[in-house]
Structure 1
Amino acid sequence: MPSFVRFVMKFRVVAIITLCLVILQLGFLLTSGYAARAIVHGDHAASQLIVDQADTLALVDSINHMRTVRAEMGATLAYIEAKDRQQADWQLQRAADKFKLATDALARYRQAPGKTPDEMALQAELAAAFTRYVDQGIRPLMAAAKAGDAATYNRLLTEVVAKDDFAYEQVLDRVLACRQQAGKQLILRTHQQADDSFRLQAIAAVLLLLVAIGMRWILVRTVARPLQVAEQLADAVAHGQLGHQVDLVEGSRHEVNSLLHSLAEMDAKLVAIVQQVRGSSVEISAASEQISRGNEDLSQRTQSQAASLEETAATIEEMTSSLRQHAAHTRDANQLMGTSRDLAASGDKTSKEAMEAIQALADSSRRMAEIVGMMDEIAFQTNILALNAAVEAARAGEQGRSFAVVASEVRGLAQRSAGAAKQVRALIEEGSAHMDSCEILTRSSNDGLSLIFDSVGQMSDIFAEVAAATEEQSESISQVNQAVLRMDDNTQQNAALVEEASAAARALHEQALDLVRQVAFFKIN
């Protein structure tokens, strides 16, 4: 690779292409700028010719308008002689307008820029001739015509105006000749600039073509050929050819050089990988064959273990069924004990209620005995009061006889009440004795029922504990059974996995052999 190409390839492809485009663009801009400059000059020359033509026409208009003024003055004099004053004034106004146009045209020329030195030298002479033409000829001529002085008008027209007109025309022709010469020179300069621009553009086009050819050569040597090398290297790797030597530029930021560097590294790494895979594939083939034999042995032992676990699971299932039946009987007995306990509790409650009722009856009997005692006391007091009333009635004699009868009746009632109260007291005392004995019996019955209730409760608790223990034992055995079943499932899955692993090992062995055949595709130089 030439040193110049190595130097260029130290830069990025984008920078190289950008530099080429910038150089071409600069050349194009310089050429276009010079062409635009020539066009501007041509346009400026054309504009100058147009302006010069307008200024020339203004000069010609100045003498033409002055001659028109002379004609208008002749018409004005004729109308004055014909006594047509209105028409004469109109003609006079037209002459004044033409005179103003003539002076404006000359003033416009005098203000125009771009005059040559010869033209500038003639400008003062032209102005003097025009002033003399106006002051000595036109103005006096207009005054004579306006006054209707035909003799003066004719004399001025033939002796002064004609001579001044000829003198102004002579100076005007010299100025027009100078302007014509300046226009020819401007046209010649324009043609010369156009020819120079064409030649320069032709030279620039040739130079740009040479620069483009040089840039193409640089791009071909720095981009296209390295890309061809990269393509050939990639194609060789794709066809299994490895171990190539690539000419690289050190310290380069060139993208294609980086691509070649990456491809070279890829080629070197592929060489190392292929060599390693060739060695590893043989080892994998031998190891996979050993794994396959070990998996087949493990599969046989796993199947034997699975059969033993199935027998164990069946035995535990029978134990679980027996325990479940025993737990069901225990639950039934526990339910019966619960019913008995409820009945005992109900009897105990009823006994307590009866005892409370007997106690309430005893309390009522005692209150009734107290009431009867009070009634007996009242009857005794009533009897005493009746005796006192009978004594007082006897003392009263005949007046107390009726009162004595009433007192006797009250005494009889008191005695009867006292007798009834004694009978009621006797009955109450007899009932109280019966109530006491009934209370004693009820208390004994209540104590017996309490003992029965406590015994039934203890038995119920014992049966509940037995039922709970049986239930827990049944649940534990069920869990053991489930664990054994899971172990059996796991063993079956392990057996399946071992079969799959054995098949995978055999497939791995086949793939290792196939890998050896595939790696043989790559050839290392």
Structure 2
Amino acid sequence: MSISIGNRILLGFTAVILVILALGLYALAQIGEVRRSTDLIVSRDLAVMHQLEGIREGQRRMSDLHDEATTRFFLRALNREVPAKEEPTIGWRRAASATETALAGAITNVNEYRTQSQSAERAAAWQRIGEILTAAGVELRGIRTTTERQFQALDASDLATVQSAETALEQAKESFVRTMASAREALDEAIAAGQRRVGEVYEESRISTMAALATCVVMALAITGLIRRSVSRPLESVMAFVGRIGEGDLTGRIADASRDEFGRLGSVLNQMVEGLRQLASQNRAATANLNAAAAEIRASAQEQAASVEEQFAAVQETAATVDEITHAGAQIGKRAQEVIATAQATAQTSQAGLRAVDETARAMDAIREQSEAVAGNIVALSEKTQAIGEIIATVNDVSERTHLLALNAAIEAAAAGESGRSFAVVASEMKALADQAKESTAQVRALLGDIQRGINSSVMLTEEAVKRVALGKERSDTTHATIEEITARVQESVQTFQQIVASTNQQQLGIEQVMGALQNIRQASQQTAAGTRQVETAAANLSELATALTALAERYRL
């Protein structure tokens, strides 16, 4: 269905409103029908009732005028004075004509009502009223005929005829009154039948209105069910898809080609899943690179630790050698003193001093070679720390990219609303891991800075030691030449050996300085070893972090 959800709800609401409006119009029509029937029945009943009252009133008027006419007759017969006014007979005739006219009109109306009656009961009642009024018309004509005959007898002063007519008129009047009473009773029955018909019409209208209401309710429920079905089914499909995504399944897609909100939501979810799939792939690749970099850092740190251990061992050996040189210098001084004391042993002592100087020169060469080896190791260590710094920069860049990916995932999850809450949790975990990786790289970088500074200091100290060893070598060469000169010039042995003593003292001072430098180198080596262990620990932590990121990335199926 290509109609949007809002339009579906609007159409459903419009349909329900139309159904309610149709129900209201039908109810108004039924109410109008009830009112029309009631008004028609009541108006007819009231019209006939007024006509019957008019006929009865005309009959009483006729009776009054008749009585007045007979009273005038008897007054004249008794020679009594008669009031001067219109003759009652004239008024009686007018009243009789009006009464007959009203009776004829009532009969006409009753017959018309009978043909237009709304029920058989009402038709029967109108027919009975018509029959009664017809009989009353016959009686009224009889009363008029008898009264006219009596008026003629009054004019002829025929008292016997007047009295006989009076008796007949009394009987006729009583019969007419009874007939009109029957007509009124029949009218009451017609009114009761009309009331019953009104009740029937009301009941029919009520039943039909309730049936229409039930039909409208059924239609409204059907419309609501259709709208709910058109909304709930796509919504259940989307919720199932989102549930699979929350479980880590990124392999599916929503196959919804509709152009409504659910179709657009499916497109957005498909785009989001595609972005998450790419993010997971990039995360896996970055995690693999991070794991490899961590392994390289750890291997490099282990190699550096081994190199530092070797450097420390070389420094220990150099210190031992310099200590031996110190003892040798002390022996040379002692021997020089002995040469001064005993000039006779000058040649022998010179030979011993020459051998000692040769040993010193070899020791100096060994010290220089070891110092150069230490300097080379320190330079190699500096290059490895620089390589570690580059690797840490790469790891930091990976963590920043992971942080950016986590931020983008959080934005996408926030845009998805309630459906993207699980992705917000994943993005938060990825962000926390990226922050932890960044903090670890910052710690490793700080440690590498300390190591680099220590290495630079060690390089400077090693270069100073090499220079001092070279100076000691030069002095050893000078001592060697001096001893050879002593050997050639025995006469100057005392003075020469004094110079040897002085040179030996200076050599002792240089060797002590070399010992101090070696102590500094040993301390720097110890610090370098500690820093290397810290780098190795940081590399292990980084490897664990990479393993955790790998496990997190493996949660999603691509």
TM-score bracket relative to the smaller structure: 0.3 to 0.5
TM-score, normalised on structure 1?
A: 0.42
Structure with max Cα Rg:
1
